[in-house]
Amino acid sequence: MPEKNIESALNEKRVFPPSAEFSSRAAINGLEAYEKISRKALDDPEGYWAGIASELHWFEPWTKVLEWELPFSKWFVGGKTNISYNCIDRHLATPRKNKIAILWEGEPGDVRALSYQMLHREVCKFANVLKSLGLQKGDRATLYMGMVPELAIAMLACARMGVTHNVVFGGFSAEALRDRINDSQSRVLITADGSYRRGTTVALKKNVDDALEGASSVEKVIVYKRTGDAINMVAGRDAWWHDLMASASADFAAEALDSEHPLFMLYTSGTTGKPKGVVHTTGGYMTGTYITAKWVFDLKEEDTYWCTADIGWVTGHSYIVYGPLLNGATSVMYEGAPNFPEPDRFWSIIEKYRINIFYTAPTAIRTFVKWGDQWPAKHDLSSLRLLGTVGEPINPEAWMWYRKNIGGDRCPIVDTWWQTETGSIMISPVPGAVPAKPGSATRPLPGIVADVVDRQGNPVGVNQGGFLVLKRPWPSMMRTIYGDPERYKRQYWSDIPGVYFTGDGARRDEDGYFWIMGRIDDVMNVSGHRIGTMEVESALVSHPTVAESAVVGRPDELKGQGIVAFVTLAAGNQPLPALKEELKIHVGKSIGSFAKPDEIRFTDSLPKTRSGKIMRRLLRDLASGTKTVGDTTTLEDFSVLAKLREEE
């Protein structure tokens, strides 16, 4: 928890209601309809959520909607279902059978379209492959791949048989992959030879080979051939995806799984050095992603929908794979970089497939602004009818640029606030009903009770900064941290009594709109990637020359936040420029290139309190070039701060 409450500065007054045309066709077609649903959800939350869950298929009905023993929840208790069945099989007896489920474009330009029927066949076959390798319900599998349809196929195959999937973003290093395999105790690793990124290939299998030296739980490695680059195959351990699939049967009945069966775990950064495996279960996650995809993206049968996230992060789980497929949508998936071969790749994809709904991150939008208006202007984007953003606060200028240059001043924008932990979108405009304000995620969705409070949990006043909390359980909430329920309790439910603490600061304006101000704990948000300061610090001190380090975020025009590391060297080491480069590379190797510090500053000592705690607030001020105004009376040695300033 931070030392002080939060000041809020933004003062944005523009309001953009949806057009009458958009509203008239929308699933929730105006404020009145929206308020009515919200009221019902508030008065009878269990009835509300049960109504939504019952739009999906259950092999056996639940006996109880919610079992709530703060902070542990169980949803749809006793119910049996399967999310893979709901994403695929449920559509096969309808005209969606031959509708495209996944429309994929590779970076080199190759295209694949998988209908729901075709997806069913691949998923069943791959489930049989996993079964033939001895995998059973309750086991874990780690997936480390690029953005190919096989990643979604593997997830849906795991879900079909009750194997808990653990997707690790392809940008993570071998060491980070190893930690995640070990913590999850995965028996199988599913990967690819490599993946395409900005015209070159990323050697995924090489990282896997390195990671598996020291990850003994893995018995089998399945390798999808994507790039054709030469790789090492270990006899007895490694097998090609296509060889295993060749003889697999296309019959695999989806398991009737308990509603609380763990569907997946996904590691995310927190305030300690060790990433935590956020656990999501089946029935509640399914209910949350289904309804939010339906309402927030206002999915229509004929829509082509594209979320540009990587499936390695929660956005890809919930809004490339599960949410859209639960709704029988066509979900577009793109493999590569936005600027390959030119900075208009996204706009050419929108034009080519006549995409209607486009969901991306503020960091991407700011990058597009930098690349220039000429790139989107070259393309016909008139098919778009709705835009979305996620991952970090969006500054009003970027919002306005997005609205004008991509949305043709016509498309509503949904600024969706949520987290890996929440599983699905929590705060966002419902586009046909709630007028947008640039930079605000607007209001909580029906059934979500959010508030802005002080340290004691008391609501703060209108336009006062405070801590963003969620006050009632919701179906897609995380259930625990894998293997560490105590940490789950401590991390999210202890700082402010009785409520879920998000780690974000926020304020609520006179219209009840939420303005998210970003993380207030020791977590940074770099280009929408969540990185713990402690994680980078641990990586730095694992280098033999480093005695101590403190890492902070500083505002960055493009990335949202940049990383600054203050480093004290062990005796006998020289603070040379070459060492800075070496340390950056070292962090890249320990975590992944996206976590490399932007700047390293050597210092003889770090500012600490008398009890030995590093005073990050001071370092943050230093890193961002703002003058420290806060309280420094607990500082142990004032000369440290003066020296750090001199060293600037």
> Is 502 a residue that touches ligand PRX (CB under 6 A)?
yes
Instruction: Please give the structure tokens belonging to residue 432.
Output: 């046909």
Q: Sketch the per residue contact string, 238 through 277, with ligand PRX: x for CB under 6 A, - otherwise.
A: ------------------------------x---------
Supply the minimum distance, in Å, between the C-beta of residue 291 and ligand PRX: 16
Q: Are 413 and 398 in contact (CB under 8 A)?
A: no
Residue among 202 and 468 whose Cβ is closer to ligand PRX = 468
One-letter amino acid identity for 263?
Answer: L
> Is 443 a residue that touches ligand PRX (CB under 6 A)?
no
Residue among 467 and 566 whose Cβ is closer to ligand PRX = 467
> Is 438 a residue that touches ligand PRX (CB under 6 A)?
no
Say which residue the tokens 């509300």 belong to. 48
The contacts of residue 369 (CB under 8 Å, 6+ apart) are 397, 398, 401
Supply the minimum distance, in Å, between the C-beta of residue 418 and ligand PRX: 5
> Is 84 a residue that touches ligand PRX (CB under 6 A)?
no
Rounded Cα gap, residues 116 and 51, in angstroms: 26
Residue among 338 and 607 whose Cβ is closer to ligand PRX = 338
**Looking at 179, 392, 509, 521, which residue binds ligand PRX (CB under 6 A)?**
392
- Residue 463 region by backbone torsions, left for phi larger than 0, else alpha for psi between -120 and 50, else beta: left
Supply the minimum distance, in Å, between the C-beta of residue 318 and ligand PRX: 8
> Is 521 a residue that touches ligand PRX (CB under 6 A)?
no
Q: Which of residues 298-317 bind ligand PRX (CB under 6 A)?
A: 314-315
Residue among 80 and 519 whose Cβ is closer to ligand PRX = 519
Say which residue the tokens 């005209």 belong to. 95
> Is 442 a residue that touches ligand PRX (CB under 6 A)?
no
Q: Which of residues 527-556 bind ligand PRX (CB under 6 A)?
A: 530
One-letter amino acid identity for 348?
Answer: S
State the sign of the Cα–Cα–Cα–Cα dihedral 75, 79, 82, 85: negative
The H or E element spanning position 644 is helix 638-646
Q: Which of residues 464-483 bind ligand PRX (CB under 6 A)?
A: none
Q: Which of residues 371-390 bind ligand PRX (CB under 6 A)?
A: 390
Supply the minimum distance, in Å, between the C-beta of residue 7 and ligand PRX: 17
Residue among 360 and 502 whose Cβ is closer to ligand PRX = 502
**Looking at 178, 437, 508, 519, which residue binds ligand PRX (CB under 6 A)?**
519
Rounded Cα gap, residues 392 and 559, in angstroms: 10
Q: Closest residue to ligand PRX, Cβ-based? A: 420
> Is 29 a residue that touches ligand PRX (CB under 6 A)?
no
Say which residue the tokens 């493009």 belong to. 558
Provide the Cα torsion 119, 120, 121, 123; round to 10°.
Answer: 80
Question: Where do the DSSP E strands lie in 216-303?
Answer: 220-224, 238-240, 257-258, 262-268, 276-281
The H or E element spanning position 69 is strand 64-69
> Is 518 a residue that touches ligand PRX (CB under 6 A)?
yes
Rounded Cα gap, residues 375 and 371, in angstroms: 8
Q: Which of residues 315-354 bind ligand PRX (CB under 6 A)?
A: 315
Q: Are 71 and 301 in contact (CB under 8 A)?
A: no
First to last CA, the chain: 28
Rounded Cα gap, residues 601 and 647, in angstroms: 9
Rounded Cα gap, residues 104 and 121, in angstroms: 17
In Å, what is the CA distance from 135 to each residue of 130, 138, 158, 215? 6, 9, 9, 18
Residue among 367 and 609 whose Cβ is closer to ligand PRX = 367
Q: Sketch the per residue contact string, 606 through 645, with ligand PRX: x for CB under 6 A, - otherwise.
A: ----------------------------------------
Residue among 45 and 423 whose Cβ is closer to ligand PRX = 423
DSSP 402: I
Supply the minimum distance, in Å, between the C-beta of residue 22 and ligand PRX: 20
Burial class (CB in 10 A: 0-12, 13-18, 19+), 118: middle
Q: Which of residues 400-429 bind ligand PRX (CB under 6 A)?
A: 415-420
β-bridge pairing 330-334 and 100-105: parallel
Supply the minimum distance, in Å, between the C-beta of residue 253 and ligand PRX: 33
Supply the minimum distance, in Å, between the C-beta of residue 392 and ligand PRX: 5
Residue among 403 and 543 whose Cβ is closer to ligand PRX = 403
Closest CA to 142 of 193, 208, 84, 93: 208
> Is 281 a residue that touches ligand PRX (CB under 6 A)?
no
Supply the minimum distance, in Å, between the C-beta of residue 431 and ligand PRX: 14
Rounded Cα gap, residues 561 and 50, in angstroms: 40
Binding site for ligand PRX (CB under 6 A): 268, 314-315, 390-393, 415-420, 441, 502-504, 516, 518-519, 525, 530
